[in-house]
């Protein structure tokens, strides 16, 4: 059994203290151990970042971008190796892992535009012989805390942009599937990143608290559950840190009577059951406008949910792999039981699935509920598993009210052929990311990702233009060179034109 290590100041290092097991979810077996960083180890990474920062911040943005160009090439060359590691430790299919990596590479491509995105603004002659301009300057040492469900993509949302903006970055990935994250960071070192600019430290709450409490860490990015997002936001902001903390979700898809139902069903299958529903953008509620739509949807979904191809994630041609841990599988099973007890109609039951040759794996089949109501726990809470709930309403207005009343506002979509309905939905829905006939409206890298309400704590979304603003601070400079031949009297009134 191998030991996964920290990456600090360009070197692999180990903690002599606590460690955690890393499982292969398809077999249920422990395949690695990962050290849980002590405060001393966290401080070692911080010290390396502090030492690297002065030289890195003064490195021209074009040279920083050159590192990212080489990094992108290395990621593409190692796609198969990275996807294999993701699948072995997370459980998602190889195709899904490769798709995750590609979306992460988009953010590296955006970071390659550093000379453009870091250009300031310049105004000549704002007053007599006075010029003014603004600079985007780095914060210093910043950190990111990332979840298990996207061990490649979510870190790539964060540190490529933070680094090309001139910061030094400390990454605390999930301890459940750290190998691909570590390999990707090593590829960035191979691309020419100076030592200390990026460190990877594994850990649990103790490591998170150490990053929150360290005065040298100026900003924290987080993606995970809402309770932890709120905790990090509260604890870090009261220490004066800048924070973007992305939390949980309960994403609704509205199906109108005029929807192209066959295409909507295909979209819902991928959005609800892809990656076992372990996505913050997964569609977990289908809101049907009218019983006729709901009945037709259920009739089309049932055979497809029952026919899902499920097996070891590293096998080819599958729809789903296992859940990440046995605890995750059992938690989702508990939600299914709760839904039955609450009176929802369990149309397809995914519990009790056994995969031949992988009987100890953390598998769960797709589940489908009908007649779900807003007071039920399976409606209110994020299940984070392969469970789709169907809710019936009488009108688009009722569907929108349902969504707007929910505590989460991460992502949503509407299936319709009616442009007026789509425009009303986009204008009035209180959700941060909206799709029209697009079930997973994850913004491309040159826009920004983030929800509303209790899905996001902080003012700025992840990556894209908001990412540049998050990882920099603006400095406004006003400069005057008086003419030598002139002498001006003192002015005591507030300066103006």
What pLDDT is stored for residue 493 in this prediction?
Answer: 80
Tens of pLDDT along 156-190?
Answer: 999 999 999 999 999 999 999 999 999 999 999 99
Give the mean pLDDT of 198-218. Answer: 97
Give me the pLDDT at residue 486, please. 67
Q: Which three-class secondary structure string do you get for the chain?
A: CEECCEEECCEEECCCCCEEEEEECCCCEEEEEEECCCHHHHHHHHHHHHHHHHHHHCCCHHHHHHHHHHHHHHHHHCHHHHHHHHHHHHCCCHHHHHHHHHHHHHHHHHHCCHHHHCCCEEEEEEECCEEEEEEEEECCEEEEECCCCCCCHHHHHHHHHHHHCCCEEEEECCCCCCHHHHHHHHHHHHCCCCCCCEEECCCCHHHHHHHHHCCCEEEEEEECCHHHHHHHHHHHHCCCCEEEEECCCCEEEEECCCCCHHHHHHHHHHHHHHHHHCCCCCEEEEEEECHHHHHHHHHHHHHHHHCCCECCCCCCCCCECCCCCHHHHHHHHHHHHHHHHHCCEEEECCCCCCCCCCCCCCCCCCEEEECCCCCCHHHHCCCCCCEEEEEEECCHHHHHHHHHHCCEECEEEEECCCHHHHHHHHHHCCCCEEEECCCCCCCCCCCCECCEECCEECCCCECHHHHHHHCEEEEEEEEECCCCCCCCCCCCCCCCC
Asked if pLDDT for residue 261 goes beyond 80, the answer is: yes
pLDDT reported for residue 497: 64
Q: Domains along the chain?
A: 2-247+455-477 (3.40.605.10), 251-436 (3.40.309.10)
Confidence of residue 491 (pLDDT cuts 50, 70, 90): confident
Is the pLDDT confidence value at 252 over 70? yes
485: confidence class by pLDDT, cuts 50, 70, 90: low
Q: pLDDT by residue (tens digit) across 31-65?
A: 999 999 999 999 999 999 999 999 999 999 999 99
pLDDT at position 246: 98
What tens digit of pLDDT does each residue of 425-477 get? 999 999 999 999 999 999 999 999 999 999 999 999 999 999 999 999 999 99
Catalytic residue among 112, 168, 280, 389: 280
Q: Is 280 a catalytic residue?
A: yes
What is the per-residue pLDDT for 483? Answer: 77
């Amino acid at each position: 059994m191998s030991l996964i290590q920290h990456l600090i100041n360009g070197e692999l290092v180990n903690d002599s203290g606590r460690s955690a097991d890393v499982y292969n979810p398809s077999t249920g077996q422990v395949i690695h151990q990962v050290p849980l960083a002590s405060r001393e180890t966290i401080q070692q990474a911080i010290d390396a970042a502090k030492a690297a920062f002065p030289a890195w911040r003064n490195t021209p943005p074009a040279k920083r971008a050159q590192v990212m160009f080489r990094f992108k090439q290395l990621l593409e060359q190692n796609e198969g190796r990275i996807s294999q590691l993701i699948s072995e430790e997370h459980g998602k299919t190889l195709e899904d892992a490769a798709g995750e990596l590609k979306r992460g590479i988009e953010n590296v491509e955006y970071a390659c535009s550093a000379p453009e995105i870091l250009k300031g603004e310049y105004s000549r002659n704002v007053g007599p012989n006075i010029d003014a301009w603004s600079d985007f300057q780095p914060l210093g040492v910043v950190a990111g805390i990332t979840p298990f469900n996207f061990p490649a993509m979510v870190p790539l949302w964060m540190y490529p942009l933070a680094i090309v903006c001139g910061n030094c970055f400390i990454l605390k990935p999930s301890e459940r599937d750290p190998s691909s994250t570590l390999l990707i960071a090593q590829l960035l070192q191979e691309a020419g990143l100076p030592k200390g600019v990026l460190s990877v430290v594994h850990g649990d709450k103790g490591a998170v608290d150490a990053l929150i409490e360290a005065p040298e860490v100026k900003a924290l990015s987080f993606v995970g559950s809402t309770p932890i997002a709120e905790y990090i936001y509260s604890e870090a902001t009261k220490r004066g840190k800048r924070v973007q903390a992305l939390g949980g979700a309960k994403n609704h898809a509205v199906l109108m009577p005029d929807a192209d139902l066959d295409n909507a069903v295909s979209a819902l299958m991928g959005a609800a059951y892809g990656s076992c529903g372990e996505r913050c953008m997964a569609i977990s509620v289908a809101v049907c406008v009218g019983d006729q739509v709901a009945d037709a949807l259920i009739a089309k979904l049932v055979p497809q949910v029952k026919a899902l191809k499920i097996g070891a994630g590293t096998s080819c041609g599958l729809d789903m792999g296992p859940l990440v841990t046995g605890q995750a599988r059992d938690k989702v099973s508990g939600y299914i039981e709760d839904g039955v007890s609450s009176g929802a109609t369990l149309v397809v039951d995914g519990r009790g699935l056994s995969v031949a040759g992988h009987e100890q794996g953390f598998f769960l089949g797709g589940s489908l509920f009908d007649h779900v109501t807003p007071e039920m726990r399976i409606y209110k809470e994020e299940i984070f598993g392969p469970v789709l709930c169907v809710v019936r309403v009488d009108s688009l207005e009722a569907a929108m009210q349902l969504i707007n009343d929910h505590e989460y506002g991460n992502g949503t979509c509407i299936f319709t052929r009616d442009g007026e309905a789509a425009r009303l939905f986009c204008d009035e829905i209180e959700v941060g990311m909206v799709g029209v006939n697009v079930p997973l409206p994850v913004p491309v890298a040159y826009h920004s990702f983030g929800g509303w309400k209790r899905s996001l704590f902080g003012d700025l979304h992840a990556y894209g233009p908001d990412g540049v603003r998050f990882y920099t601070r603006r400095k406004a400079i006003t400069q005057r060179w008086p003419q030598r031949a002139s002498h001006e009297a003192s002015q005591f009134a507030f300066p103006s034109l």
